[in-house]
């Protein structure tokens, strides 16, 4: 009994020392397939998974592991910049069949899920995802655990220095333009406004859990992905989808400015994914890319008629392509986006970049 208490105390003291030595004790990540590192593999019926070839083809073992790209994604690169291991998927950490899982939430957790929306209700089981509200519910379980491990002030201290990253929203926009029912019920403006309001409520909830440092990525110029170009004239970017993505981003930016004055002591970095991705699309050669319209892996027009599945065809040099499949960037594109996010100029990351945010 006494021994256990001692051990526990020892553990708490060492983890305190650890978090003091590190500039960022942990990163907690919320989002969609752009930053999913394997959560969806644990959703039993869902087919929204990257668990088959040729996903992961450029990983060391060439095996699909839940990342929706050819190699590593933004979650990995951002963790690397912060000097942290990639935060493990939440559903991996709590999976009971997983014998060697020593549940530790201390260095962060990844809640991101392919297909996730800000404004998600129930999906058909086959396209099940963990939507943002559910991701927050999972975080509240993690919070209780940290509170138990570190105590009240310990947990507060830990979390207030941690980074809370959001990469989400694209699926909300895609869904709106795919659903005539939604379009009949709400105008595009009402729709993007409710997306902003939902994410605002989520940020407030996290503030209640002691989160103080946020990294919020806007939606990319997703009208330029192969899946949307395929349905436009001359394979151009889909203007309407880009327009409403940008509109949402503008709402997000002003909401964040307002929130900063309401929630005492928060700091954030907004990342202009729209501009950063558009740069690659407009001036591919400047960034070492050759192909911006077609996906590397898929079938049909622009390789955008199916996802990257075992029956698909794929390109030999993935780093020539901005898009790996019909909606997801290649590892090469992810890497460039995270470089910008981490220490890009004010044009890309404001009011500060991630490097400046972690230095506070």
Query: Which stretches of the chain bind ligand NAG, using CB under 6 A?
Result: 100, 102, 180-181, 184, 265, 267, 288, 290, 317, 319-320, 352, 360
In the complex, least distance from residue 94 CB atom to ligand NAG, rounded to whole angstroms: 15
DSSP-derived pairing of the beta strands 108-110 and 27-31: parallel
Nearer to ligand NAG, 96 or 181 (CB): 181
CB of 45 to ligand NAG, least distance (A): 25
Tokens of 177: 């333009």
Q: What is the tally of helices (H) and strands (E) in the chain?
A: 12, 8
From the candidates 131, 158, 238, 328, give the one annotated as an active-site residue: 328
Residues 147/133, Cβ–Cβ less than 8 Å: no
Give the residue from 355, 12, 341 showing the smallest Cα distance to 150. 12
Please, which residue, 62 or 140, has the CB nearer to ligand NAG? Answer: 62
By beta-carbon proximity to ligand NAG, the closer residue of 208 and 288 is 288
Q: Which residues contact 324 (CB under 8 A, 6 or more apart)?
A: 68, 69, 70, 295, 296, 297, 308, 318, 330, 331
Catalytic-residue membership of 137: no
DSSP state of 295: -
Nearer Cβ to ligand NAG, position 265 or 310? 265
Sequence-ordered list of residues with C-beta below 8 angstroms from that of 16, at least 6 positions apart, any chain: 150, 154
CA-to-CA dists, residue 115 to 55, 131, 174, 237, angstroms: 16, 8, 10, 21
Please identify, using beta-carbon distances, which residue of 36 and 268 lies nearer to ligand NAG.
Answer: 268
User: Does the active-site annotation cover 328?
Assistant: yes
Q: How far is the CB of 351 from ligand NAG (least distance, A)?
A: 6
Catalytic residue among 15, 19, 32, 33: 33
| Nearest distance from C-beta of residue 287 to ligand NAG, angstroms | 9
Least distance in Å: CB of 101 to ligand NAG? 8
Known catalytic residue at 33: yes
Which positions are catalytic? Answer: 33, 325, 328
């Amino acid at each position: 009994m006494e021994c256990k208490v001692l051990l526990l105390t020892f553990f708490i003291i060492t983890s305190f020392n650890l978090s003091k030595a590190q500039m960022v004790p942990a990163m907690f990540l919320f989002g969609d397939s752009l930053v999913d590192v394997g959560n969806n593999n644990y959703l039993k019926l869902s087919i929204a998974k990257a668990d088959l070839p040729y996903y992961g083809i450029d990983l060391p073992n060439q095996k699909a592991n839940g990342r929706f790209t050819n190699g590593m994604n933004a979650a990995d690169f951002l963790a690397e910049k912060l000097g942290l291991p990639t935060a493990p998927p939440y559903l991996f950490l709590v999976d009971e069949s997983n014998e060697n899982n020593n549940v530790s939430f201390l260095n962060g957790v990844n809640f991101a899920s392919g297909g996730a929306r800000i404004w998600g209700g129930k999906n058909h089981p086959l396209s099940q995802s963990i939507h943002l509200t559910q991701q927050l519910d999972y975080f509240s379980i993690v919070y209780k655990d940290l509170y138990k491990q570190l105590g009240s002030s310990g947990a507060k201290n830990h979390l207030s220095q941690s980074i809370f990253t959001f990469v989400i929203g694209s699926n909300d926009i895609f869904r709106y333009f795919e659903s005539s029912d939604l379009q009949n019920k709400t105008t595009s403006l009402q729709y993007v406004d409710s997306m902003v309001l939902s994410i605002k409520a989520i940020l407030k909830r996290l503030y209640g859990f002691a989160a103080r440092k946020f990294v919020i990525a806007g939606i990319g110029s997703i009208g330029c992905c192969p899946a949307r170009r395929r349905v436009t004239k001359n394979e151009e970017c889909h203007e309407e989808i880009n327009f409403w993505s940008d509109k949402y981003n503008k709402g997000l930016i002003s909401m964040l400015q307002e929130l900063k004055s309401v929630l005492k002591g928060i700091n954030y970095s907004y990342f202009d994914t729209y501009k950063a991705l558009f740069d690659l699309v407009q001036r591919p050669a400047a960034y070492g890319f050759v192909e911006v319209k077609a996906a590397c892996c898929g079938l049909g027009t622009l390789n955008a008629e199916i996802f990257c599945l075992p029956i698909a065809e794929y390109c030999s040099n993935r780093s020539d392509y901005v898009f790996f499949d019909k909606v997801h960037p290649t590892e090469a594109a992810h890497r460039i986006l995270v470089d910008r996010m981490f220490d890009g100029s004010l044009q890309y990351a404001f009011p500060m970049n991630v490097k400046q945010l972690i230095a506070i």
